[in-house]
Amino acid sequence: MNFDANNQPYTSNRITLSAKNGVVCASNALASQAGLDMLKKGGNAVDAAIATAACLTVVEPTANGIGGDNFAIVWINNHLYGMNSNGYSPYEISLEKVKINNDTMPVHGWTPVLVPGAPKGWASLSKRFGNLTLLECLQPAIDYAQNGFPVAANVAKMWEKAFNRNLILYGNKLEFEEWFRTYTFDGRAPEAFQIIKLPNHAKTLKLIGESNGDEFYHGELADKIEEDSICHGGYIRKKDLEDFETSWVEPLSINYRGYDVVELPPSGQGMVALMALNVLNNYNVTERNTEYYHNVFEAMKIGFADGIHYITDPKMMTINHKDLLRPAYGQKRYKQITEKAQIFTEDNPYQSGTVYFCSADKDGNMVSMIQSNYMGFGSGIVVKDTGISLQNRGADFKLDENHINCLAPHKRTYHTIIPGLLMKDDNCVGVFGVMGGYMQPQGHVQVISNLIDFNLNPQMALDCPRWQWMKEKQFVVENTFDNNITLGLISKGHEITIAPDNIIFGRGQIILKLDNGAYAAGTESRTDGNIALY
Does residue 118 contact residue 71 with C-beta atoms inside 8 Å?
no
Cα maximum dimension of the chain? 62
Q: 514 Cβ partners below 8 Å, 6+ apart?
A: 18, 520
User: What's the CA gap between 21 and 363, in Å, rounded?
Assistant: 8
Specify the DSSP class assigned to residue 250: P
User: What's the CA gap between 531 and 499, in Å, rounded?
Assistant: 27
Does residue 504 contact residue 524 with C-beta atoms inside 8 Å?
no
Amino acid at 105: M
Residues 286-311: b if buried by 16+ CB within 10 A, e if exposed:
eebebbbbbbbbbbbbbbbbbbbebb
User: What's the CA gap between 279 and 269, in Å, rounded?
Assistant: 16
User: What's the CA gap between 110 and 144, in Å, rounded?
Assistant: 28
User: What's the CA gap between 288 and 296, in Å, rounded?
Assistant: 11
User: What's the CA gap between 316 and 408, in Å, rounded?
Assistant: 11
Handedness of CA 309, 311, 317, 318 (dihedral sign): positive
Q: Concatenate the DSSP letters of all residues of 21-59 into one string.
A: SEEEEESSHHHHHHHHHHHHTT--HHHHHHHHHHHHHHH
Does residue 41 contact residue 91 with C-beta atoms inside 8 Å?
no
Query: Is 480 a catalytic site residue?
Result: no
Q: Which of 111, 354, 416, 523 is catalytic?
A: 354
Q: Concatenate the DSSP letters of all residues of 166-215 into one string.
A: HHHHHTT-GGGHHHHHHH-BTTBPPPTT-EE--HHHHHHHHHHHHTTTHH
Q: Measuring CA to CA, how many Å separate 416 from each of 6, 192, 372?
A: 28, 29, 9
- What's the angle, vertex CA 257, arms to CA 278 and CA 296, rounded to 5? 45
Catalytic residue positions? Answer: 354
